[in-house]
């Protein structure tokens, strides 16, 4: 009985806990974080179970209110949405475990609003992924965006200004998406994705449909931090608190990339997307420029969270470039990179949170080699995640770049292949710089720093998620054949 | 908005007008499923009637009507009404928010849906009113003019 | 040519409002004026949706016992109106968050002008 209700239950768990956290939080403020861990834990278990059920039985369509699809709103749980829901819920669970100590130091007294907002943000992300109705997607997009603005504003002193800039740009993007939905509704008369995908081939050259596609891509591109529209990202991720960055950075842009996948592959289809305007080519070129831009800007940064923010701009470029290739290998590479990047970026931001908790800053120019004595587990997790970001086998990052490279060779797109290889080298520059500072002894300076340092590792609740995510990268690297086998089955052709 | 002394005309006018706005707001909520109206619009009108007293009379007077700490539990209560209606429908065997499965006995299915919509509109109206009043309270918190 | 302008006057209103809103977001330096520009931009999209719901010679979508059930096309299309109810509420919530952020910025930096804010943050 629970099987048929699974798509709704994953989203409703977050609604339930976003009601429980204010009630219990007004009574006892310390109980907000355990409730948040419990909520995301239940949602992770449900999404694992749902994905296992999907692999056996097939996709589930859930009609709200009992109204059948063209009339009512539905949730569609197929391979693509199941995969994304699984990734974001499991990553969010580990970030919430980590946020226990951070909540006490970085924003004391604001725990109840913070975790309630986090639950609402995850409700918005899950709803965006699961829904099968275009306007419902806009509503969940705005729910998750408003909660993200609040989460980013609870941070350091310039945080509200960064959140305000993100608000203006993000709401303008959402409104452009809404206008695109309006154009599609005017032409076809329906808002359901599956229904509209059957109707669109007859309207392929109507100017309203072309305009709708462009508007939707631009509007969602703002949220996905596609190259020229990424301006909100560095400030927002830098000034937010450690657990906000670790929550929003791995998840937010991926969900916007999911919407792009849904629109380009499922709603319009690849032939229709390129029929009148070369949209996939333009998106691919912008993504390639974004990859190089993000990597070069990341090399120039001295503060670790800002460097990771520019690195996020670069990595989302990989995913969107895989989308623009529009063949099975590129698709599998892009989805595998979604999984890998979510785990890697969460691990890296949690490491930054650990360093900020112990040292008070995460400024790279002040790193020295006493860190390897003081924080052995944290720096080990950082090393695993950094090597995976660069893309060395057998860690997870290598395989997603491998499949992306195979996809570019399939399309005979040699420029993209060169971009992937050059950006891997640039990634190596800014990550190995930190590894060199921490692990190699500086021959000019006095060697007393490392000798005197005592072990001062962070507490278990902060070290555990960081290490688990780092170990997960090794596991995903070894199990990548099975994962890619599943991903090839999801491709809609 | 620095007040030296309150203007009796403003206070009298708002005191006379506010109950009627509240009554009209309740009317709009309860006629939402049958004529133009519904939870959002009615909730906004209810909030307007409360905010009128807050603007005209200041915090000291409006605390007699709705306390400032009471808005958060009211908003959560409105969401609980909405969510539990859907949950009851789901437990009784239907989809989420399938009003046909609500346990009202002895009514034809169309009337059960009628009552289901009414219950969630009341929940939405309560939540919208509490939240709009909460936004205003947060903005003037700590100011010495009202 | 005149027919192109007069026949589509609803769309021209939408375009003019969108341009006013975008001008407010891009060229005004005060944060409150940017928020007002955003609200105008959202209102223009609401106007577009409501304009596509109307039909010649149709009546309001409230059930009238004089019109039999088979002639349901005599009513206006109520779906865009309900979608826009939700969109307006989303706009109100966005304005609420925007003004709370503006108050937090003002409490920390004592100014709401974007140039001065950028200098104070750096």
- Report pLDDT digits (tens) over A271-327: 888 777 888 899 999 999 999 999 999 999 989 999 999 999 999 999 999 999 888
Residue pointed to by tokens 């690195």 = A311
Taking CB atoms and an 8 Å limit, are A171 and C45 in contact across chains?
no
d(CA A289, CA A277): 20
| Chain B residues touching residue C87 (CB < 8 angstroms) | none
So what's the pLDDT on residue B112?
A: 87
Whether residues C45 and A163 touch (CB distance < 8 A) is answered with no
* pLDDT above 90 (res B146): no
3-state secondary structure of B98: coil
User: A145, A171 in Cβ contact below 8 A?
Assistant: yes
Please, which pLDDT band fits residue A256 given cuts at 50, 70 and 90?
Answer: very high
Whole-number Cα distances in Å, A98 to A211, A341, A347, A356, A466: 44, 18, 11, 13, 8
Give me the residue from A12, A22, A65 closest to B76, CB to CB: A22
Mean pLDDT of the B56-83 span: 88
Alpha helices in A300-327, H assignment, sequence order: 304-325
- Say which residue, B58 or A390, is predicted with more confidence: A390
pLDDT at residue A456, rounded to an integer: 74
Query: What residues in C contact A142, CB-CB < 8 Å?
Result: 90, 93-94
Per-residue pLDDT, C50: 93
For the cut 80, the answer to whether the pLDDT of residue A453 exceeds it is: no
Per-residue pLDDT at A372: 78
A partners (3+ CB pairs within 8 A) are: B, C
Count interface pairs A-C at CB distance under 8 A. Answer: 64
Q: Do B139 and C99 touch (CB under 8 A)?
A: yes
Q: How big is chain B by its Cα radius of gyration, in Å?
A: 19
Joined tokens for residue A29 = 């403020």
Helix then strand count (H, E) for chain C reads 5, 0
Residue A451: its pLDDT value, please?
Answer: 60
* Mutual angle of helices C31-51 and C79-109, in 10-degree steps: 180
Res. A447 pLDDT band, cuts 50 70 90: low
User: Are the CB atoms for A143 and A123 separated by under 8 Å?
Assistant: yes
Residue B2 has pLDDT above 60, yes or no: no
* Start-to-end C-alpha separation, chain B: 9
Q: Which residues pair with A14 in a beta bridge?
A: none
A324: number of Cβ within 10 Å: 25
Read off the pLDDT band of B36 (50, 70, 90).
confident
CA distance A388 to A57: 34
Q: Does A146 contact C97 at a Cβ distance shorter than 8 Å?
A: yes
Phi, psi (deg, nearest 5) at residue A75: -110, 130
C76 inside 8 A of chain A by CB: no
- Cβ <8 Å between B90 and A65: no
With contact defined as beta carbons under 8 Å apart, do A107 and A114 qualify?
yes
- Positions in chain C short of pLDDT 70: none
Report DSSP state, residue A266.
I
Say whether A16 and B95 touch across the interface (CB within 8 A). Answer: no
Distances A470 to A296, A345, A377, A385 between C-alpha atoms, Å: 25, 10, 10, 6
pLDDT class of A462 with cuts at 50, 70, 90: confident
Q: Which residue of A has its CA nearest to B80?
A: A19
Q: Does residue B133 lie in a domain region?
A: yes
Establish if B1 belongs to a structural domain.
Answer: no
Q: Which of A75, A190, A49, A221 is nearest to A140 (CA)?
A: A75
Find the angle CA(A101)-CA(A102)-CA(A106) to the nearest 5 degrees: 130
- CB neighbours of C61 closer than 8 A, spacing ≥ 6? C75, C76, C77, C78, C81
Cβ contact (<8 Å) for A66 and B76?
no
Number of domains in chain B: 1
| Buried-state track A202-215, b at ≥16 Cβ within 10 A, e below 16 | eeeebebbbebbbb
Instruction: Search chain C and give the residue with CA nearest A153.
Output: C101
Choose, out of C46, C82, C89, C98, the residue to mutate when testing the contact with B (most B CBs < 10 Å): C89
Residue A62 in this model has a pLDDT that exceeds 80: yes
User: From the candidates B31, B34, B40, which should be mutated to test the interface with C, based on the most C CB atoms within 10 A?
Assistant: B40
* Mean pLDDT of the A250-265 span: 92
Q: What is the pLDDT of residue A363?
A: 84
Structure-block tokens of residue C7: 């026949």
Question: B40-58 burial by CB neighbour count: b if 16+ within 10 A, else e?
Answer: bbbbbbbbbbbbbbbebbb
- Here the tokens at position A125 are 């992300």
Cα maximum dimension of chain C: 69
What CA–CA distance (Å, rounded) separates C67 from C60?
12
Question: Which residues in chain B are contacts of C92 at CB distance < 8 A?
Answer: 132
Q: Residue B2: inside a domain, yes or no?
A: no
Does residue B23 fall inside a structural domain?
yes
Structural domain includes residue B20 = yes
Q: Could B83 and A8 be called an inter-chain contact, meaning their C-beta atoms sit closer than 8 Å?
A: no
What distance in Å separates the CA atoms of residue C22 and residue C10, rounded to the nearest whole number? 19
First to last CA, chain A: 32
Q: Are A241 and A106 in contact (CB under 8 A)?
A: yes
In a domain, B3, yes or no: no
DSSP letter at A265 equals I
Which tokens go with A415? 């420029």
**Which pLDDT does position C93 carry in this prediction?**
93
> CB neighbours of A19 closer than 8 A, spacing ≥ 6?
B76, B79, B80, B83
Average the pLDDT over each of A432-441, A444-453, B24-33 and give the range with the smallest value. A444-453
Average pLDDT score over residue span A321-349: 91
Quote the ipTM score: 0.95
Give the tens place of pLDDT for each residue, A3-47: 788 888 999 999 999 999 999 988 888 888 999 999 999 999 999
Q: Are strands A60-63 and A74-77 parallel, antiparallel or unpaired?
A: antiparallel
Give the torsion sign (CA, A186, A189, A195, A200).
negative
A142-177 pLDDT, tens digit each: 999 999 999 999 888 899 999 999 999 999 999 999
Judge whether residue A439 has pLDDT over 90: no
Q: Which pLDDT value is given to residue A163?
A: 94
| Structural domain span for residue B98 | 8-144
Q: Residue B111 falls within a domain, yes or no? A: yes
What does residue C64 show for φ and ψ, rounded to 5 degrees?
A: -115, 130
- Of these ranges, B6-15, B102-111, C86-95, the one predicted with the greatest mean pLDDT is C86-95
Surface-to-core class of residue C1, CB atoms within 10 Å of its CB (0-12 exposed, 13-18 middle, 19+ buried): exposed
A449 pLDDT more than 70: no
A493 Cβ contact list (under 8 Å, min separation 6): A328
Return the pLDDT at A274. 79
Q: Is the pTM of this model over 0.90?
A: yes
- CB contact (8 A) between residue A182 and residue C52: yes
pLDDT digits (tens, 9 = 90+) for A145-154: 999 999 999 8
Our measurement of the distance from residue A212's CA atom to the centroid of its chain's CA atoms, rounded to an integer in Å, reads: 25
The beta-carbon neighbor of A62 closest among B87, B95, B100 is B95
For range B22-33, the mean pLDDT: 89
pLDDT of the residue at C89: 93
Mean pLDDT for the stretch of residues A427-455: 75
Is B83–A16 a contact, with Cβ atoms under 8 angstroms apart?
yes
User: Does residue B66 sit within a domain?
Assistant: yes
What is the 3 state secondary structure string of A168-213?
HHHHHHHHHHHHHHHHHHHHHCCCEHHHHHHHHHHHCCCHHHHHHH
Contacts of B44 (CB under 8 A, 6+ apart): B25, B128, B129, B132
**Average of per-residue pLDDT values in chain A:** 89
Chains that touch B (3 or more CB pairs under 8 A): A, C
């Amino acid at each position: 009985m629970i099987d048929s209700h699974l798509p709704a239950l994953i989203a409703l768990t977050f609604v339930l806990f976003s009601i429980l956290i204010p009630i219990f939080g007004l009574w006892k403020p310390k109980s907000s974080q355990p409730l948040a861990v419990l909520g995301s834990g239940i949602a992770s278990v449900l999404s694992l179970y749902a994905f296992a059920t999907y692999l056996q039985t097939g996709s589930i369509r859930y009609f709200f209110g009992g109204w059948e699809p063209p009339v009512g709103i539905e949730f569609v749980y197929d391979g693509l949405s199941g995969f994304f829901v699984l990734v974001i819920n499991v990553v969010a669970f580990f970030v919430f475990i980590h946020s226990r100590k951070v909540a006490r130091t970085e924003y004391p007294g604001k725990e109840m609003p913070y975790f309630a907002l986090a639950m609402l943000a995850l409700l918005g992300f899950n709803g965006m992924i699961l829904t099968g109705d275009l306007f419902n997607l806009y509503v969940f997009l705005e729910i998750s965006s408003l909660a993200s603005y609040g989460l980013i504003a609870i941070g350091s002193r310039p945080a509200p200004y960064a959140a305000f800039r993100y608000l203006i740009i993000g709401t303008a993007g959402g409104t452009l998406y809404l206008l695109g939905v309006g154009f599609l509704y005017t032409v076809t008369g329906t808002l359901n994705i599956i229904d509209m995908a059957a109707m669109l081939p007859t309207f392929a050259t109507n100017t309203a449909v072309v305009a709708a596609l462009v508007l939707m891509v631009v509007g969602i591109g703002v949220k996905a931090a596609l190259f020229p529209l990424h301006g909100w990202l560095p400030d927002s991720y830098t000034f937010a608190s450690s657990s906000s960055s670790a929550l929003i950075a791995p998840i937010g842009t991926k969900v916007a990339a999911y919407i792009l996948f849904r629109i380009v592959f499922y709603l319009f289809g690849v032939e229709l997307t390129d029929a009148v305007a070369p949209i996939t080519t333009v998106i691919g070129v912008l993504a390639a420029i974004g990859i190089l831009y993000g990597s070069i800007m990341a090399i120039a940064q001295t503060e670790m969270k800002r460097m990771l923010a520019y690195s996020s701009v670069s990595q989302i470029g990989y995913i969107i470039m895989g989308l623009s290739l529009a063949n099975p290998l590129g698709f599998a590479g892009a989805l595998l990179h979604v999984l890998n990047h979510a785990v890697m970026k969460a691990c890296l931001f949690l490491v930054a949170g650990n360093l900020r908790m112990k040292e008070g800053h995460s400024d790279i120019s002040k790193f020295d080699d006493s860190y390897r004595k003081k924080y052995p587990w944290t720096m080990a997790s950082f090393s695993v995640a950094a090597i995976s970001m660069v893309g060395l086998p057998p860690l997870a990052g290598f395989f997603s770049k491998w499949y992306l490279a195979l996809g570019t060779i399939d399309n005979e797109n040699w420029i993209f292949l060169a971009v992937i290889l050059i950006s891997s080298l640039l990634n190596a520059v800014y990550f190995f710089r930190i590894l060199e500072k921490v692990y190699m002894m500086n021959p000019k300076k006095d060697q007393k720093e490392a000798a005197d340092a005592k072990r001062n590792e962070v507490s278990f609740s902060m070290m555990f998620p960081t290490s688990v995510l780092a170990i997960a990268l090794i596991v995903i690297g070894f199990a990548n054949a099975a994962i890619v086998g599943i991903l090839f089955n999801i491709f809609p052709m | 908005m620095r007040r030296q002394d309150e203007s009796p005309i403003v206070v009298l006018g708002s005191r006379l007008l506010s109950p009627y706005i509240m009554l009209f707001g309740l009317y709009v909520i309860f006629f939402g499923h049958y004529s133009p109206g519904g939870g959002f619009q009615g909730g906004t009108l209810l909030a307007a009637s409360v905010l009128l007293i807050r603007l005209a009379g200041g915090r000291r007077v409006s605390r007699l009507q709705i306390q400032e700490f009471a808005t958060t539990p009211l908003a959560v209560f409105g969401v609980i009404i909405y969510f539990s209606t859907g949950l009851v429908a789901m437990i009784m065997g239907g989809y989420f928010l399938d009003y046909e499965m609500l346990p009202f006995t002895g009514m034809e299915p169309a009337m059960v849906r009628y009552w289901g919509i009414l219950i969630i509109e009341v929940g939405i109206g309560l939540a919208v009113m509490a939240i709009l009043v909460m936004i205003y309270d947060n903005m003037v918190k700590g100011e010495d003019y009202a | 040519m005149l027919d192109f302008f007069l026949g589509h006057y609803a769309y021209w209103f939408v375009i003019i409002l969108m341009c006013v809103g975008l001008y407010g977001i891009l060229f005004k330096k005060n944060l409150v004026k940017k928020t007002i520009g955003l609200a105008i931009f959202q209102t223009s999209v609401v106007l577009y949706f409501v304009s596509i719901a109307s039909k010649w010679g149709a009546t309001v979508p409230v059930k009238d016992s004089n019109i039999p059930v088979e002639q349901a096309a005599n009513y206006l299309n109520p779906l865009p109106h309900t979608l826009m109810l939700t969109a307006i509420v989303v706009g109100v919530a966005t304005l609420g968050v925007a003004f709370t952020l503006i108050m937090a910025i003002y409490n920390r930096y004592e100014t709401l002008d974007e140039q001065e804010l950028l200098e104070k943050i750096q």
